Structure 1
């Protein structure tokens, strides 16, 4: 199969989708083999890179001179204005442009002359009201928004997707307007409305989609964006560059301002963008009850009519993440977009695959997910997980107290007051080194047990004065057996945990360490410990083994006969 561009695959899939052409007809139209057509219909990923499209480097040094000639024509008599031939002649005489062709100058002058006249106000752009068929078109745009994020005033970006017919809009706030946020916003919008516009979606010339703006409506698109469009089966419509094209997607331009004024003023205060986007989803549902201008029906009522006319979603979900392969440094950190993220220490010195998404970063070792972080907004920021360093700290316990990972765990709340109390009690009885090793063993329990159970085990161990990892494990298993998981208590929740009261802890039987009890309280005596209510040991079960089956109790075994050699 010869190498092909993404565009060819996209055109083949589009013709098959819209016109329903056969494999043979598609191969004839696009001048490719039938195997290539079948490959394009099976997957939107072509086997070749997109060919590099070059500009006109010979014309660029003379663009300013051409613009000056066209600007001078604004005040010249109509019959004495420059033609493309005269401009080419002047460039050769005055600027030594002997390598330029007539067609290159002609194509540039045709477009640039109109632009200069519009900029000077010589041509008035008229607006014609447009109608939009249900389920056919949509518009997308980004807008700036400021958020008080975790106590810091932060500049973020509002993604807006708006159906042109009903005015149904989907909004999301991201820390970036890069391609990963651009694609993730589309996917979230498609899944929310339950379909895809059948005709096209209108855009500005965003760098996430367009790598070069050519003349007219022609664009050189980003290969990954072409792959995304081909996967979801829709076409793009690009507006004219600058302010001239703003009216071509005026619906979403106005929607950005409306939503920002009504829901994001004053600046929203939030701990995370995920929390803010949850609130935005509720606002989007509430906005379905509003009416646009003089419409009789609400947005929600028009969307109910429009939704069945949308194209269905593909079976597979597109991965919007940007794939990167950073190398893990000696601090078990990777650097992605000027921010650092921790990974398990066993990966030090290796390259890992990273999926950088709009709101999170996922790290893979092969096909296995080994780390997941919320995306760091601040440049130079860090996201460090204490669990990634436990295997190293097991060998170097003295590095734990001053470690950055512990500071991050305390700041995020994953290292709770129960952990602090256990560590302090263990240091009091066993010393710093032994206490730190016990704490690390406790932290390793979080890999296999629910956080609520481990914390309950920590509290129980501190209460009875038996501050060892074994006691915490026993008490955690006891708590897990007494509090089975329910739909209201997910197993992975670290924020919503349930604790036993002090009275409940004292009423339940607990494991008691006599040695640590005496060390913690030298005045304690054996008489003060809980009574031993276990039954007296019995040897009856072993006595049963001394008798053969079928013999009466007390009957002696038959004597063994001796045989000669």
Structure 2
């Protein structure tokens, strides 16, 4: 089986160098049918498999340590990371999960530093024909559901037309990079022929001599799926992608002032794409014409979207603790009480996290945590268990999260009533969420009702405004009644005759 790099070379020789399949076979030494297979391959989605693969103990921390060391280039020598400081930060961030020795971290840091030794000679100024793009992240603050995040915004600019699009994220990880590109590709209905990047660790695994780079597998898979070429700038050479450098500032001033505030980030990102479309209805800064018209020239050169959408996620394994909770990216997520002590799969995207069992069966879905958020608890699987074991409720973490009125209601209930109340509470939570279920119980208690039927009636009034009407099915023995249509002429005659008598 060929490596991603070998497959990329084959496809690049065919698509961008115009070589025949037989010529590629001769150059690479690969079988003709193998070359043909990978040239015609359309789907580069990563298929997850149940089998766990062993990794080096420090492999999961490579991206974050690489980012720290790259960022050190912007700091003075005395404020750069030592190997000891890297070790201390990893211990602080991952705590008991991190069990590598300081000695192994020193070698790990030294190896990454060797990989980051980059040739500092500049490139010549570059021309960008229609259809090409540049990409970069900028930092931005925003408010979602009343919570303030110091996040990032992904920008794509089209140097030929000076158009651009952006997406807002809570991180600049690989999932956000790829999700941003995918959303923009689908919105514009095509794929730029070539995209320029800086040496972001989410795309570049290793920078080698003579400008060669080893790309991360996730980025390489995404690039082959959509068929674009990637070009990477020299370090500290912002002029090589000056279009997007300017677009980062333009988007911040025009799209992110004042600080955006919204309910749902994914939905807000859809409105940002429309705002960027509208922003193209202006003149190019060099007077070449309207940006929207020049962007049509870009679109004519774009590649077609692949038939199969690319599914973006990070795939990892984790072991649930005695409460069915797992750790991912330094944060805690619930699974299900019956998964306690068992291995699960984490399928993490930019916005959400899905948790599967070891056979790839779906367990639960969470909104992905960022910033100061440390734990996400989806109580539905736990509530179903508690409704079968109501006496255990008082000794769970859920009990402490309940409002005082609801706790008092449960404390006063006998075993059977408590069981019915928890079943009802679970049913409400599944339908409309934890907060709405709490509100229904509080409202019912405030109105002086306590039986499950009355609480359910209160819930229905809060969520639909009306009580549910059950269908009445009549037995076959009930005779059918003929439809009766009243004759209003008779009533008219009575009125007239009454008037005559007066």
TM above 0.5, yes or no, is yes
SS in 1 for 2:238: helix
The one of 162, 166, 169 equivalent to 2:164 is 169
Aligned ranges 1:374-523 → 2 under 5 Å: 374-379=367-372, 381-400=374-393, 403-405=396-398, 431=413, 433-446=415-428, 465=449, 467-468=451-452, 497-500=463-466
State the shift of 1:191 in Å: 0.8
* Poorly superposed stretches of 4+, deviation over 6 Å: 406-410, 450-464, 471-476
Whose RCO is larger (CA < 8 A, sep 6+)?
A: 2
State the shift of 1:405 in Å: 4.3
1:320–1:407 distance in 2 versus 1, CA, 3 Å? farther
Unaligned runs of 5+ in 1: 50-110, 119-124, 411-419, 481-495, 511-534, 542-565
State TM-score, norm by structure 2: 0.68
Aligned ranges 1:1-400 → 2 under 5 Å: 3-18=1-16, 21-40=19-38, 41-42=40-41, 44=44, 115=121, 131-135=127-131, 137-198=132-193, 200-242=194-236, 245-274=237-266, 276-365=268-357, 366-379=359-372, 381-400=374-393
Distance 1:401 1:282 in 2: 50
Distance 1:304 1:432 in 2: 70
Would the aligned equivalents of 1:426 and 1:468 in 2 still touch at CA under 8 Å? no
1:409–1:309 distance in 2 versus 1, CA, 3 Å? farther
1:449–1:299 distance in 2 versus 1, CA, 3 Å? same
Listed one character per residue, the Cα deviations across residues 11-46 of structure 1 (whole Å, up to 9, x for unaligned) are 212233345655433322211113422442335489
Would the aligned equivalents of 1:144 and 1:157 in 2 still touch at CA under 8 Å? yes
State the shift of 1:263 in Å: 2.1
Listed one character per residue, the Cα deviations across residues 445-472 of structure 1 (whole Å, up to 9, x for unaligned) are 2487577998999799877957226x77
1:321–1:46 distance in 2 versus 1, CA, 3 Å? closer
1:457–1:268 distance in 2 versus 1, CA, 3 Å? closer
Would the aligned equivalents of 2:133 and 2:156 in 1 still touch at CA under 8 Å? yes
Matched residue count: 403
1:275–1:223 distance in 2 versus 1, CA, 3 Å? closer
Distance 2:37 2:11 in 1: 10
Would the aligned equivalents of 2:203 and 2:216 in 1 still touch at CA under 8 Å? yes
Would the aligned equivalents of 2:380 and 2:430 in 1 still touch at CA under 8 Å? no
Listed one character per residue, the Cα deviations across residues 195-231 of structure 1 (whole Å, up to 9, x for unaligned) are 1112x11010111111222233211222222222111
State the shift of 1:401 in Å: 5.8
Distance 1:256 1:247 in 2: 14
Distance 2:33 2:457 in 1: 63
1:540–1:241 distance in 2 versus 1, CA, 3 Å? closer
Distance 1:381 1:319 in 2: 26
Of structures 1 and 2, the larger Rg is shown by 1
Distance 2:427 2:265 in 1: 30
State TM-score, norm by structure 1: 0.61
Would the aligned equivalents of 1:6 and 1:45 in 2 still touch at CA under 8 Å? no
Listed one character per residue, the Cα deviations across residues 120-155 of structure 1 (whole Å, up to 9, x for unaligned) are xxxxx9x85x653222x1000011112345545432
Would the aligned equivalents of 2:154 and 2:177 in 1 still touch at CA under 8 Å? yes
1:19–1:164 distance in 2 versus 1, CA, 3 Å? same
SS in 2 for 1:291: coil
Query: What's the C-alpha RMSD, in Å, of the aligned pairs?
Result: 4.2
SS in 1 for 2:319: coil
Would the aligned equivalents of 1:461 and 1:468 in 2 still touch at CA under 8 Å? no
1:45–1:435 distance in 2 versus 1, CA, 3 Å? closer
Would the aligned equivalents of 2:399 and 2:407 in 1 still touch at CA under 8 Å? no
Would the aligned equivalents of 2:387 and 2:420 in 1 still touch at CA under 8 Å? no
Would the aligned equivalents of 2:136 and 2:154 in 1 still touch at CA under 8 Å? yes
1:416 aligned partner: none
State the shift of 1:397 in Å: 2.4
1:53 aligned partner: none
Distance 1:267 1:460 in 2: 36
Distance 1:221 1:398 in 2: 55
Unaligned runs of 5+ in 2: 48-52, 54-117, 480-502
State the shift of 1:406 in Å: 6.3
Would the aligned equivalents of 2:166 and 2:276 in 1 still touch at CA under 8 Å? yes
Would the aligned equivalents of 2:158 and 2:298 in 1 still touch at CA under 8 Å? no
Would the aligned equivalents of 1:5 and 1:46 in 2 still touch at CA under 8 Å? no
State the shift of 1:402 in Å: 7.2
State the shift of 1:252 in Å: 0.3
Distance 2:306 2:332 in 1: 35
Would the aligned equivalents of 1:10 and 1:44 in 2 still touch at CA under 8 Å? no
Would the aligned equivalents of 2:191 and 2:228 in 1 still touch at CA under 8 Å? yes
Distance 1:331 1:46 in 2: 31
